[in-house]
Structure 1
Amino acid sequence: MSFDPKSKADKAQLYPILRALSDLDPRKTPELLMDDAIGSPVARGHDYVRNMRRGEIAATYATLIHQWLLEHHFDLAHRLAPEIFPETPEQRWQAIVDERARSDRLQLVLVPLTMGIVERESQLRPVDTTIRLGERFCFELDSEAEGYVMALQGVRGQWHNIPIGPNGEVSAPIQSGQNRLPQKSDGKLDPLIEQYDEGAHTFVLIFSEAPDIPLNIAQLGAWVKASDCIVHSATVTFIS
């Protein structure tokens, strides 16, 4: 655990971050920001600020403040106190996606409940910005070359692999031009479905000419930086 709410040294690092946030918004004192983090006004004595600077606050309050800063002000907190706000592999991967991902060649398309033996173009409808929970969809990638792709789904800071190979493999072979994934071994679409998790989801397809794309996020970030690969992304919002 990077933050110990029982450590006075760790807790003492919280106040300078609240102070820096209050400098950005004069309407908010560090004490009011603390109330925002905890969710209700906190009763304070006249030495409370001094005690907070020393890390002499309740572990429960410190935990809530740390979590609030992590969720709402991570960049500033990481810059001022990287020891208790370290960058996670997921955050490093998100930064790579933000910097490198292309959005011009990947889209999601809705797949009707009934499909013929041969899919018809008129049956597949590109997703605009939203997909309803329970609707079937697939990826449509216009690739510049033949190779392999691996798929990831990102939601609320967490990333998950999506097996898209014809027999459940993590990666799938693709051709130059239009590709719809996932597919079964017979070439028919094998649509995806999201049933429970509302909100914004980012889908990433990583293209490589070789199939050995790392699965682990921590390894994947370093591999992408060092490899001649292409990162494609598309973001949609799932609604009920």
Structure 2
Amino acid sequence: MSFDPKNKADKAKLYPVLKALTDLDPRKTPELIMDDAVGYPVARGQDYVRNMRRGEIAATYAALIHQWLLEHHFDLAHRLAPAIFPETAEQRWQAIINERAIPDRFRLVLVPLTMGIVERESQLKPVDTTIRLGERFCFELESETEGHAIAFQAVRGQWHNIPLGSSGEVSALIQSGQNRLPKRSDGKLDPLSENYDEGMHEFVLITAPTDGIPTSIQSLNTWTSDNPNTLHRIAVQFVK
């Protein structure tokens, strides 16, 4: 564990990050930033800022502040207090996606309950920004080259692989032009659905000329720097 909310030295490292946030918003003070992080105004005595500098605040407050900074101001916190805000493999992967993902060739399309071997354009409707839980969808990719693709889904910062192969393999072949995935071995679409988790979901498709794209985030962080590949991303909101 990189942060111990009961450790005075760890708690003291929170203050420079809170102070830096006040520099970005002169209307705020470290105490008001703390209130934002905790979720309500905290009752404070005299010299509370001095106590914050020394790490002399309740462990409960410290844990809430740390989690809030992690979720909302990680880049700043990592730069000022890397000991208690180390960069995880998932955060590094997210940074790579934010920097390199191509947004306009990858989309989700809704799939009706009955589909034939030939997918009619009129039956497949692109997802805009929201999709209902339980609705069937597939991926649509406009690729400039032939190759292979794997897919990931992110929910609340956790990344999960989505097998694309016709028999459950992780990767699938793609062709130049329009691709719809995943498909069964008979050529019919094999639609996906999200039945449980509401909220924002992020889907990433990774393509490469050859097979063997890593399926772990840790390995992908290195692999993306050394191999020709393309990242595609789309974010959608799942609602009831």
TM-score by length of 1: 0.94
Per-residue CA shift, 1:128-153, capped at 9, x if unaligned? Answer: 22212111111111222221100011
Gaps of at least 5 residues in structure 2 are: none
Task: Please state how far the C-alpha of 1:171 moved relative to its aligned partner.
Answer: 0.6
Query: Which residue pairs with 2:150 in the alignment?
Result: 150
Per-residue CA shift, 1:47-87, capped at 9, x if unaligned? Answer: 33222211122211111111111122212111110110111
Q: Distance in 2 between matches of 1:86 and 1:103?
A: 28
Secondary structure of the equivalent of 2:97? helix
Task: Please state how far the C-alpha of 1:8 moved relative to its aligned partner.
Answer: 1.2
Q: Distance in 1 between matches of 2:33 and 2:129?
A: 34
Moved beyond 6 Å, runs of 4+: none
1:70 aligns with 2:66: no
User: CA RMSD, aligned part only?
Assistant: 1.5
Secondary structure of the equivalent of 2:98? helix
Report the more deviating stretch, 26-35 or 7-16.
26-35
Secondary structure of the equivalent of 1:139? strand
Q: Is the 8 A contact 2:136 2:193 kept in 1?
A: yes
Query: Which residue pairs with 1:140 in the alignment?
Result: 140
Q: Identity across aligned pairs (percent)?
A: 74
Query: Which residue pairs with 2:200 in the alignment?
Result: 200
Per-residue CA shift, 1:88-131, capped at 9, x if unaligned? Answer: 11111111111111122212111101113433232112222221
Q: CA 1:144–1:65 in 2, change beyond 3 Å: closer, same or farther? A: same
Q: CA 1:185–1:41 in 2, change beyond 3 Å: closer, same or farther? A: same
1:156 counterpart letter in structure 2: R
Equivalent residues in 2 for 1:3-152, closer than 5 Å:
3-152=3-152
Gaps of at least 5 residues in structure 1 are: none
Per-residue CA shift, 1:180-214, capped at 9, x if unaligned? Answer: 10001111110010112222222111111221111
Secondary structure of the equivalent of 1:123? coil
Per-residue CA shift, 1:205-232, capped at 9, x if unaligned? Answer: 1111221111110110110111111112
Q: CA 1:23–1:103 in 2, change beyond 3 Å: closer, same or farther? A: closer
1:78 counterpart letter in structure 2: H
Query: Which residue pairs with 2:233 in the alignment?
Result: 233
2:198 counterpart letter in structure 1: E
Q: CA 1:24–1:117 in 2, change beyond 3 Å: closer, same or farther? A: closer
Secondary structure of the equivalent of 1:23? helix
Q: Distance in 2 between matches of 1:24 and 1:145?
A: 45
**How many residue pairs align between the two structures?**
240
Q: Distance in 2 between matches of 1:39 and 1:99?
A: 31
Query: Which residue pairs with 1:165 in the alignment?
Result: 165
Secondary structure of the equivalent of 1:122? coil
Per-residue CA shift, 1:23-67, capped at 9, x if unaligned? Answer: 222222111222222223333232332222111222111111111
Equivalent residues in 2 for 1:178-189, closer than 5 Å:
178-189=178-189
